[in-house]
Each structure stands twice: as C-alpha cells, then as structure tokens.
C-alpha cells in the first residue's frame, strides 16, 4: 500500500512529496553515502520517479560516479546544503532514493536492510535486518 509523505530541506525553500510503499528502506554504508551524509551511513528509501513531485524550489544536482562505475545525481538545496534525494541512477533506472531526514514525519519508518556492510565502521552495530556486503542482486 502506497503512502504519501511530505519533505523539505533544512531552510524550507525546497519542498516535495513522495508516494511510495516503503518496500525499500535501507541503511547504506557505501563510501558515497558516507561522504554525502557526513556520517557513518545514510538511511534512504526508494521512490518510483512517478511517485515524486517537486512542490517548490530548485535543487542543485551533483553528478557522481559510484564505485560501480555507474552515475547518479545527488540533489541538495543550494541555499542550506541539505541532502534531499538521489536521481538519475544508472544502476536503478526510474527510481529515486530519498534521504529519510528530509521527511517532515519520518516516525515509524525503519530500515528493512543494510547495504555495503563490508564498509560499516567497527563501532556501528548491525541491525536485526538482512545484511548485504554490497548491492543485492
């Protein structure tokens, strides 16, 4: 069952809505997510492109080549710098990955899996969810 969620950047200039079934919520420990989030990992969830609606503002995109050699666009607010979503994923066409921290109400949403666990730092304890050393599939 799909649900609609509202989201925004830290300064509120960029607002968007997503409609998704939350079947893909993941903690990602890949190098890109660590660098982009500034933390040990990033918690993201998948949204079909058709379920994404930009309501206001214009995010800035940074095109990045992942360790896999595939490109993606990390989208953030050019004013406050908040990371919002990843689009144009060569490895997952038609899907966006939304940062859970951008949601207005993330309560009750929990990771269903962890990715790139080979790069998890020793002090970060695994969750009791399926673990993948890299990208599943």
The pLDDT tens digits of the residues spanning 76-114 come to 999 999 999 999 999 899 999 999 999 999 999 999 999
Residue with tokens 């800035």: 60
Q: Which residues lie closer than 8 Å to 109 by C-beta, 6 or more apart? A: 22, 25, 45, 100, 103
pLDDT at residue 66, rounded to an integer: 83
- 8 A C-beta contact, residue 72 and residue 88: yes
pLDDT at residue 61, rounded to an integer: 97
pLDDT at residue 12, rounded to an integer: 98
pLDDT at residue 79, rounded to an integer: 97
What's the whole-model pTM score? 0.92
pLDDT at residue 36, rounded to an integer: 86
Of 87, 85, 97, 101, the closest CA to residue 26 belongs to: 97
Stretches in the chain below the pLDDT threshold 70: 137
- Return the percentage of the chain with pLDDT > 70, whole number: 99
Q: What span, in angstroms and rounded, lies between the C-alpha atoms of 88 and 90?
A: 6
Domains of the chain and any CATH numbers: 3-23+43-108 (2.170.150.70)
Residue with tokens 């997952």: 92
């Amino acid at each position: 069952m799909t649900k609609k969620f509202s989201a925004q950047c830290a300064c509120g200039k960029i607002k968007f809505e997503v409609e998704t079934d939350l079947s893909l919520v993941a903690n990602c420990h890949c190098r890109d997510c660590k660098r982009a989030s500034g933390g040990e990992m990033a918690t993201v969830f998948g949204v079909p492109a058709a379920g994404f609606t930009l309501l206001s503002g214009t995010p800035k995109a940074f095109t990045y080549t992942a360790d896999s050699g595939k490109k993606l666009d990390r989208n953030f607010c050019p004013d406050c710098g908040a990371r919002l979503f990843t689009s144009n994923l060569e490895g997952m066409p038609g899907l966006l990955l939304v940062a859970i921290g951008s949601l207005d109400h993330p309560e009750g949403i929990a990771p269903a899996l962890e990715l790139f666990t080979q790069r998890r730092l020793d002090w970060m304890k695994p969750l009791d969810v399926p673990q993948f050393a890299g990208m599943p599939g």
